[in-house]
Chains A and B, each alone.
Chain A
Amino acid sequence: MIGPEQIAPEQIAYVNARIIDPASNTDTVGALVVFDDEIQAVGADLFPEGVPSHMKSIDCEGHVLCPGLIDMRVFVGEPGSEHNETLATASQAAAAGGVTTIIVMPNTSPVIDDVSLVDFIRRRSRDTAIVNVFPMAALTKNLDGEQITEMGLLLEAGAVAFTDGRQSIMSAQLMRSALSYASTFDALVVHDAEDPSLAKDGAMNEGELASRLGLRGIPTAAETIIVERDMALVKLTGGRYHLAQLSCADTLRVVAQAKKDGLDITCAVSTQHLTLNENDVGDYRTFFKTSPPLRSEDDRLAMIQGLQDGVIDVIVSGHDPQGPASKRLPFGEAAFGTVGLETMLPIALELVHNEQLDLMTLLRAMTSTPADILGLSSGRLTPGAPADFAVLDLGAPYIFVAETLKSRSKNSPFDGRKMQGRILKTIVGGKTVYDYEDQLS
């Protein structure tokens, strides 16, 4: 006999949790109740008389319960390079990393520059992915940097922002048009800033190490010049602008000044640029070939300071799966990029354990701030918000092994690194999509 009460979704209470919600600046021991796919209640004193018997109760044993991460910069190989990553494998990697929403880049084959392709990503995600997937659509057709895409229609189809992914827009006129036109719909323009003429043939940060290794360097000016130009264009157009990644102190100063001037801009840094520097390239290690390149230690420390000061808004993984065919090559010929979805939180926690950054600031840059920038209702532990959250053991120490990654590509720069902080559970829309205990069996 199946009664109606068994078909109806049950309430699940996550109790004895250290609830951290950056949106409300909350850090308290309490409980969170999920009903169906939403958060129904959250707080310190939800159950003074114990959890009611009709609720399923899950004991978090004092571990952290925080909003699921929202990763604004994820490259996936679908369509076109499924051998590197599919939406399904990327979503499994995300779930294992406590990431409940991934924003996928349009740099696929074909390029996501058309309504039907946005629709393809949404359908494939619905059918195969276990976390939320939102596409950024191309800013210019075929990422050619020549003609802007149908932003209005693409927004209606479900694109959350516009970017050419790893391509920089070189024409100032086109960037002006794109920002200006996007403002019609209050759409967000996301830009990866690097002057290709200055970065030409470059493989790593320009500096002493590149000189010694005989590798062509990419100067920080390649990034700063474009950001300075973009700031002037944002001022001119009033468009909404998000700098996809920054990597150096010089750019940080430009962004800080622009914010001081009241421009509507935000920016992100990747976990790699927060935790690694150019010296990690060492002996031509291609897993440390990133774009933008890993910079100097001073630049890395500036990135941490930028987060503390609120100049840097968001932390991304910059997840960019690359198989052996594109990484097991001489450094200059190897592809840029590292996977990062599964490690973004544990590696970033290094900064918290080292007391370089507080946990609330760190989590905010991975949850509520990206949600606010993208206009998502998730990223917060509020009644009515999607039940997207993660349970973490902040202290668990282990040695990370890249071979264990869920991602189809294993190009992680953190293989063999000592990490502290483990994702115990990831819940998306009320459903548990990752449980650490299942991995042990």
Chain B
Amino acid sequence: MNTSHISSIEDQNALVFTGNHLLGIEGLSAAEITSLLDLAESYVDFNRQEEKSLTTLCGRTQINLFFESSTRTQASFELAGKRLGADVMNMAVASSSINKGETLLDTAMTLNAMQPNLLVVRHGSSGAVKLLAQKVDCSVVNAGDGQHEHPTQALLDALTIRRNLGCLEGLTVAICGDILHSRVARSNILLLNTMGARVRIIAPPTLLPDHADRLGVEVFHDMRKGLKNVDVVMMLRLQLERMTAALIPSRREYFHHYGLDYDKLAYASPDARVMHPGPMNRGMEIASAVADDLNISLIHEQVEMGVAIRMAVLDALSRERSGGDQ
């Protein structure tokens, strides 16, 4: 089959997702999330083909604007855009002169004047991507804002879970580790709650946000109790700075209590799967053997789903725009 004849992948159902931007999971309905996952599903098969180029976004300009350095997320968005035929430009603001004294909004206005169709933005401050979205005319995708949200990560996690366990509704998912500083955790909690999964969070109190129990989760400080009978274990990366900030005493103490090894995993459901948004600290939050166990680890599949989800998001936002409904 000659892929050049494929202009776009049509999903069977009309797309329910209707936003101009994807700024967070908050505010998305279960139907919108499902429609994005369904669309992404079709891109998974497509991505496994030898030829992977579409013309869906042909002629569109996508700018990846990363105020925080990132390798995998940026690469994933870049690939997603290119496979859909968009012209993709990467701007690593963290290391360029554009960051010198220029405010976020000045940068936004500058880029807006270049008439992009899609802006993919990561920024170190919570709310920054939303602020930027208010000032530009194109669609904006939040690729992570501070400690607030990282919606495409939550979507790719959901897609990974759905493909392996059939559905999200009724599952029990444990999110373990540095919840306090994690935008991945926030987006996942919102998405899993919306989709009818039960969410537990497991961490020492120093790594939990204030009033964590009001986020619609069960809170555990004991990992063994928290993992009991869960279907999915999502591990979070623990940054080494957390030790200098006196939130945890040492690497070995953390691993002893909160590192995922076979012993603690034995408390989970026998079919439980393990996930990690990456990059991993082996021996810190997850034992190497668990991370590499192909029978239980979905970590590589998460990366694969990341490209498909981002293609679905870029596609969906572009459809909306081309419909003239702004």
Contact = CB atoms under 8 A, between A and B. Distances in A.
Interface of A: 206-208, 210-217, 219, 283-284, 325, 328-333
A330 B210 contact: no
Given A213-B148, A214-B145, A215-B126, A329 B211 contact: no
Contacts of A212: 186, 215
B287 interface: no
A208 B208 CA distance: 12
A330 B125 contact: yes
Interface of B: 103-105, 123, 125-128, 130-131, 145-149, 183, 186, 209-212, 214-215
28 contacts: A210-B210, A211-B209, A211-B210, A212-B215, A213-B127, A214-B145, A214-B148, A214-B149, A214-B186, A215-B127, A215-B146, A215-B147, A215-B148, A216-B147, A284-B131, A329-B103, A329-B104, A329-B105, A329-B131, A330-B123, A330-B125, A330-B127, A330-B128, A330-B131, A331-B126, A332-B125, A332-B127, A333-B125
Given A213-B127, A214-B126, A330 B215 contact: no
Contact of A331 (B127, B149, B212, B214): B127
A395 B57 CA distance: 59
Contacts of B183: 214
Contacts of A219: 210
A208, A211, A214, A333: residue with the most chain B Cβ atoms closer than 10 Å = A214
Contacts of A284: 126-127, 130-131
Contacts of A333: 125
Given A212-B215, A331-B126, A332-B146, A207 B131 contact: no
A207 B126 contact: no
A330 B146 contact: yes
Contacts of A216: 147
B103 A325 contact: yes
A207 B123 contact: no
Contacts of B186: 212, 214
B209 A330 contact: no
The 7 closest A-B pairs by CB, nearest first: A214-B148, A330-B125, A284-B127, A330-B128, A211-B209, A214-B147, A214-B126
A330 B209 CA distance: 20
A207 B210 contact: yes
A214 B210 contact: no
Contact of A208 (B103, B123, B210): B210
A212 B125 CA distance: 14
A283 B215 contact: no
B103 A283 contact: no
A211 B126 contact: no
A219 B103 CA distance: 29
B122 to A, nearest CB: 12
Given A214-B145, A333-B125, 9 more contacts: A208-B211, A211-B209, A213-B127, A213-B148, A216-B147, A219-B210, A284-B130, A330-B146, A331-B125
Nearest to A219: B210
Given A211-B209, A214-B147, A284-B130, A328 B125 contact: no
Nearest to A333: B125
A215 B105 CA distance: 20
Nearest to B123: A330
Nearest to A215: B126
A439 B148 CA distance: 45
Contact of A332 (B105, B126, B149, B215): B126
Contacts of B128: 330
Contacts of A328: 103, 105
Contacts of A217: 210
Contacts of A329: 103-105, 125, 131
A214 B147 CA distance: 5
B211 A330 contact: no
Contact of B146 (A206, A214, A283, A325): A214
A210 B212 CA distance: 11
Contacts of A215: 126-127, 146-148
B293 to A, nearest CB: 32
Contacts of B127: 213-215, 283-284, 330-332
A328 B214 CA distance: 30
A208 B211 CA distance: 5
Nearest to B189: A212
A206 B209 CA distance: 9
Nearest to A206: B210
Contacts of B149: 214
Contacts of B209: 210-211
A219 B210 CA distance: 10
Nearest to B185: A214
Nearest to B129: A330
Contact of B214 (A208, A213, A214, A325): A208
